Each structure stands twice: as structure tokens, then as C-alpha cells.
Amino acid sequence: MDLFTMGYTVLGGLGIFFFGMKSMSEALQSAAGDVIKRAIDTITKHRIYSVMVGVVVTMIVQSSSVTTVMVVGFVNAGLMNLTQAIGVIFGANIGTTVTGWIISIKVGKYGLLFIALGIFPLLFGKSHRTRQIGKVLFGVGMIFYGLKIMSGAFKPLRSMPEFLEMISYFSEPHYGAYAACILVGCILTMVIQSSSAMLGITIAMAASGAISFQTAAALVLGENIGTTITALLASVGANITAKRAARAHAIFNLLGVLVIFLIFPYYVEFIEWIVPGEANFISPSGDKPNIAVHIATGHSIFNVTATLLFLPFLYKLAAFVTKITPDKGNKQQHHLVVLGDPKDLIPATAFAQAEAELTKMKDVVDRAYDLTGKLLRQKSELSPEDALIKIRDYEQITDNIQKEITIFLVKLCENSLTSEESNLAQSIMREADELESVADYLERLAKYSSRTPLHEVLTEDSKEEFLSFYDEVEKFYQGITKRIKSTEQMDLTIVHRKSEELRQKAQTIRKNQLVRVSKGKTDPLTTLTFSDMVVAVRKIRSHAQNIAEAHI
């Protein structure tokens, strides 16, 4: 086999491997989306829970890079603090070892079997669950088949003088060779942007007999450093805490590799001791049948040991990255737009981030509601002019957040989502739109109150009626929006009944005001402002009802 044929065969096998990883990961994410969401919701300040979440999520998504990018996004969105993020990253390093065990199964032996088992449920399955199971099996088969192709392409290397001469230095039993292998593994992983792919290539080369176990083990150590570049790139443009989380990931892996590097010969001997069969045993066909399990074991030992070693020092690591990444006093802004392309995110985590942004939006509207109420009661610490400026600022913020949420979710919907996920995306977009409309009408209320002096608009007869109506609508709004980030369901029948009562009350208030005008108790121009204010509050009631409908 010439070099050109070997090159495109390796690339073709790598492409099939990548496609299999992507298919399996997407299917697992779709099938286990609720599990991921529940795992994220269980994150607490306790480091053990954070580590467990990292393990579970990474086992499902089959990529520590995806998990760490997700963590950077969560920190940037304000969903996680630094210590929680570092704990999840520790867990992600353990969870990613599952990939090594999956691909350490006899390379290629079961590839076509899994493809055959998965293709029919994938194409002809009646239910979504059946199709996703088929997609997982098909993906696993593609992974094995891609590895078989790569392994076959690497076989000629073991008898190629040029390659043997080049690799001879890396196979030498000294620290210079170990360091060189680690550096190569790091650089290649940074280029490919996937430690799983590099692990697959390493196992394929080792299984074909092209490289020794010692070389493969050192390459895997380098791959653990190289994979940190993904999170570092994701943190560019993010807030200061997200940058610290990405750097904590890099420092953790660097220190872990440094510890193993110092005892590398003993590390290799220990793996040989605990795993049956000699790693470099060569079968009559020239392959190394035992080496894949040795590599997977070494990968697991490294990540589990590093996590156990550094877990007690989690807070010290957080303090260290805080010190080397100081806050320069810039005001931090949390925006979805800095999270990168949502098409690359896990749907479950993307929705968690969008819901967090929606909650943030509700908090802004609540502040606007509170300030508007004080303004109407003439109890605000701010002057009417300053209060109006502040309420307009709140309204502008809700405009920006609503725009961000919509763009984010529209891009997310370009992915292959389930019908439930598509409905959820539409629901969140509609809730954001309705919240923005509530903020619009609060701003109008404040503007109306500045158009005509409030003491002229809200006279003794009308003031009590209007403020009572305002309070009832606010209570109606709060009762609905407090459920925005919960799974608690609302009874739409009750919501519609209360909404209709408030609508009727608005009509009654306006009629009463017209009676007062006809009796000469109030001025027609102030009545126009009063009527506009009642309509604005009535519109808030309507948008609150729409939020309830969107949530369900």
C-alpha cells in the first residue's frame, strides 16, 4: 500500500469513526435529554455532586470537550459558579474514559454486526425511542468499522523502514521520548479538536502493531492536555468566571500529566501488572490483541487518579485561577451570544441556558413592575423623570434579551430536534416575547403618568379603583410567571376565568370614569390619559395569560 492510498484510507476510516461518534452522541443526547437536565439541576455547592454531574453528562454526550464547553457557557450565563464548574470538569475527565472502553473492544470485530442491528430500527422504527436506539447501535457499529479501516491502513507501517526509523526515538525508554510523545499527542489533539478521535487513532495504530504500548500511553497523556484547548477557545469573549473555568481545566490536566510523567515507567508497569496479557504481545497475524484494553485502562487510571488527587484541593485551584485571572473591574455582562454557535450545543443544556436567560428577563420585568407601582403611588425614591428613565432602561434590556433568546433558539432549531424539543423552543420564544410586551406596557404606564400630573389623573374617586386593578393584575402576572422555570402546571381554565374577570373590571373602571366626566367631576383630557393607563394594565393582563398558554 503506497502512502497516498494509506492516507486516504486512514482519513476515510477517521471520517466513518467521526460520523459514528456523532450519530451515537446525538442519539444518546436525544434519548437522555431529561437525564442531562435533571443532572444539571442537581448541581450544588458540594464538590462531589458536581463531579458526579460531570461524569453522567460526559458518559451520555461521549465528549469531555462538549461538557467543558457547556460548563464555560453555563458559567458565562450565570448558571454555575467557579467551584461548581471545576467539579463538573473533574467529572468530565472521568466520564470521557467510557469512550476508551467502547473503542477498546476488538477493533472492527463487531462493526458490521452493530450496523446491521441498528440500521433497521433507525430507518423503520415507529417510535422516536426505537429510532434513537437504532441510531445508537448504528453509531457504535460505525465507530468499530472506522477503527477497523484505520487499523488496516496502519498495518504496512510496522514493516516500513522510514516509519520505523522515525518512530524509534519515540519508543526509547527515556524521559526525552516520553516528553516527545506527550507533545505530539497534545499538538495533534489541538489540531483535530477531539481527544476521542485521537484516542481512536492511537488505539488503531497500537492494535495494528505500528507503535508500542509505552508510546501509546504517552500519546494519550498528551491528548488529555490537547483537549483543553476547546474550552479555552470557547472562553474567548466570555466573562471573567468562564475564563477562569477554562484555565482551571487546562491547569488540572497539565498538573495531572506532570505527576504521571514523573513516574511514567512505574505507571506503565502498573498497567501491565493489573491487566491480564502482555500489552505488546504480537499475534501470528502481526496485530497486538491485548493493547487496546491496556490503553483504555491507562486512560481510566490517569483520569480517576488525577480527580481523586486534586478533588481535596478544588477550592485552592479555584483561588489560584482567580488570582492569575484577575477581574480588571470591567462590568460583566451575561449574554447568550457569547456562547458560540448553539448548533454545537447539547439541546438539553441549550434549553437550560435559554431558560436561565428567560428567568433573568423576568427579574428585569419584575424590577420594572416594582418601580412603576411606586411611581403610580408617588412613593418612589427617584424623581418621576429619573424613574421613567430607569423604567425605559429596563425595557431596553428586555428588548435585548428577547432578541438574544430568539436568535439563539432559532439557530438551535436548525438542529435535528424532537417534536417535544421544538415545542419547548417555541414556548420559550413566546414567553420571552410576552415578557418583553409586559415591559413595553409598563414603560407606557410610566410615560402616561408623566404626560399629565398624576394627582390630576388619579383623583380620590378613580385612584382607589385604578390601583386596586393594578395590584390584582400584578398578582395575576406574578402567579403565572413564578412557574416559568418550573415543571408545575397551570390550570388554564382558572387562568382564563381570572383573566376574563380582570378584563370586565377594566371595562367597569373605564365606564365609571366616563360617568365622572359626564358629571363634570374630571377633565376630559385627563380622562384620556386615565383610559390609556387602564388599557395598558389590561394589556399586561392579556400578555400574562399568553405566558400561561405558552408555558403549557
Over residues 186-208, the pLDDT tens digits come to: 988 888 777 778 888 888 888 88
More confident residue, 420 or 502: 502
Q: Which of 296, 324, 352 is the endpoint of a domain? A: 324
CA 459 to chain centre: 53
Q: Identify whether 331 is part of a domain.
A: no
Average pLDDT over residues 7-31: 81
Which pLDDT does position 337 carry in this prediction? 44
Q: Which of 290, 324, 358 is the endpoint of a domain? A: 324
Q: How confident is the model over 106-153, as pLDDT tens digits? A: 655 778 888 999 999 888 888 877 888 898 889 888 888 888 888 778
Which pLDDT does position 338 carry in this prediction? 42
Q: Identify whether 175 is part of a domain.
A: yes
Taking 90 as the threshold, does the pLDDT of residue 434 lie above it? Answer: yes
Q: Identify whether 129 is part of a domain.
A: yes
Residues 162 and 278 placed together within one structural domain of the fold? yes
392 phi/psi in degrees, rounded to 5:
-65, -35
Q: Identify whether 489 is part of a domain.
A: yes
Summary mean pLDDT of the chain? 82
Residues 347 and 468 placed together within one structural domain of the fold? yes
Residues 173 and 24 placed together within one structural domain of the fold? yes
Residues 265 and 388 placed together within one structural domain of the fold? no
The span from the CA of 437 to the CA of 36, in Å, is: 32
Q: How confident is the model over 356-376, as pLDDT tens digits? A: 888 889 999 999 989 988 888
Which pLDDT does position 64 carry in this prediction? 75
Q: Identify whether 330 is part of a domain.
A: no
Residues 106 and 205 placed together within one structural domain of the fold? yes
Taking 50 as the threshold, does the pLDDT of residue 339 lie above it? Answer: no
Taking 90 as the threshold, does the pLDDT of residue 243 lie above it? Answer: no
Contact 418, 30 (CB under 8 A): yes
Residues 236 and 343 placed together within one structural domain of the fold? no
For residues 357-367, one letter each, b for 16 or more C-beta atoms within 10 angstroms of the residue's C-beta and e for the rest, the string is bbebbbebbbb
Confidence of residue 539 (pLDDT cuts 50, 70, 90): very high
Which pLDDT does position 45 carry in this prediction? 54
Residues 342 and 317 placed together within one structural domain of the fold? no
Residues 317 and 407 placed together within one structural domain of the fold? no
The span from the CA of 132 to the CA of 146, in Å, is: 21
CA distances (Å), origin 412, targets 22, 35, 233? 17, 20, 20
Residues 297 and 378 placed together within one structural domain of the fold? no
Confidence of residue 541 (pLDDT cuts 50, 70, 90): very high
497 phi/psi in degrees, rounded to 5:
-65, -45
Which pLDDT does position 331 carry in this prediction? 46
CA 129 to chain centre: 23
Taking 70 as the threshold, does the pLDDT of residue 341 lie above it? Answer: no
Which residues does 4 contact at the CB level (< 8 Å), separation at least 6?
none
- DSSP assignment string, 401-444: HHHHHHHHHHHHTTS---HHHHHHHHHHHHHHHHHHHHHHHHHH
Which pLDDT does position 60 carry in this prediction? 74
Q: Identify whether 329 is part of a domain.
A: no
Torsion of CA 515, 519, 524, 527, to 10 degrees: -40
Residues 491 and 519 placed together within one structural domain of the fold? yes
Cell representation of residue 455: 394627582
- Position 341, amino acid: D
Domain housing 77: 3-324
Average pLDDT over residues 405-425: 83
Average pLDDT over residues 307-317: 87
Which pLDDT does position 160 carry in this prediction? 72
Q: Identify whether 33 is part of a domain.
A: yes
| Number of domain units in the chain | 2
Cell representation of residue 74: 453555563
Which pLDDT does position 454 carry in this prediction? 66
Q: Which of 261, 294, 324 is the endpoint of a domain? A: 324
Nearest partner of 321 among 246, 214, 400, 431, judged by Cα: 246
Residues 302 and 407 placed together within one structural domain of the fold? no
pTM above 0.95, yes or no: no
Taking 80 as the threshold, does the pLDDT of residue 393 lie above it? Answer: yes
- Position 524, amino acid: P
Which pLDDT does position 287 carry in this prediction? 80
Average pLDDT over residues 38-63: 73
Which among 100-104, 336-340, 386-390 has the top mean pLDDT?
A: 386-390
Q: How confident is the model over 269-288, as pLDDT tens digits? A: 999 999 888 888 888 877 88
Taking 70 as the threshold, does the pLDDT of residue 164 lie above it? Answer: no
Measured CA angle at 59 (ends 56, 61), to 5 deg: 105
Average pLDDT over residues 383-390: 85
Residues 248 and 210 placed together within one structural domain of the fold? yes
Q: Identify whether 173 is part of a domain.
A: yes
Give the CATH number, domain containing residue 439.
1.20.58.220
- Position 244, amino acid: R
